[in-house]
Structure 1
Amino acid sequence: MIETAFLALGLVLIVEGLAYALAPSLVEQLLEALRALPETQRRNLGLLALVLGVLMVWIAKTLGG
């Protein structure tokens, strides 16, 4: 189980790092757009991302055996 957590965290850091390395101005625009959203919409967006992430990890574990 811990290896899955490390794998997931590593993949998140790779994606985050790529975004900041390849398109830092786009990240700034995204943060400004997020600031413009009401707190409830940001919370719902975060919960949706959480659910999708858990679902993707579960599917990956299921397919991987």
Structure 2
Amino acid sequence: MDDLLTALALVLVIEGSLYALFPGAMRRVIVEALAVPVGHMRLVGLAAAVAGVGAVWMLRAL
């Protein structure tokens, strides 16, 4: 559970830093994301989740 909370905290640090350092670019990213079809976004999100699980699995196996 500690690892999950640490990972979520790091997500907040990274995402918060991006919004603080590049607010205009992040706004453009959001606008562009709204134009992406839902099915495509779902597929990319699923692929990212699978890649993340694979990366965690490989790191834990070392």
What runs of 5+ residues in structure 1 fail to find an aligned partner? none
What's the RMSD between the two structures over aligned residues?
Answer: 1.4
Structure 1 CA distance for aligned equivalents of residues 56 and 20 of structure 2? 25
% same residue: 37
When the two structures are aligned, how many residues end up with a matched partner?
62
Aligned letter for 1:36? Answer: A
Kindly report structure 1 stretches of 4+ aligned residues shifted beyond 6 Å: none
Aligned letter for 1:59? Answer: M
Structure 2 CA distance for aligned equivalents of residues 60 and 16 of structure 1? 23
TM-score, reference length from structure 2: 0.82
Structure 2 CA distance for aligned equivalents of residues 60 and 14 of structure 1? 21
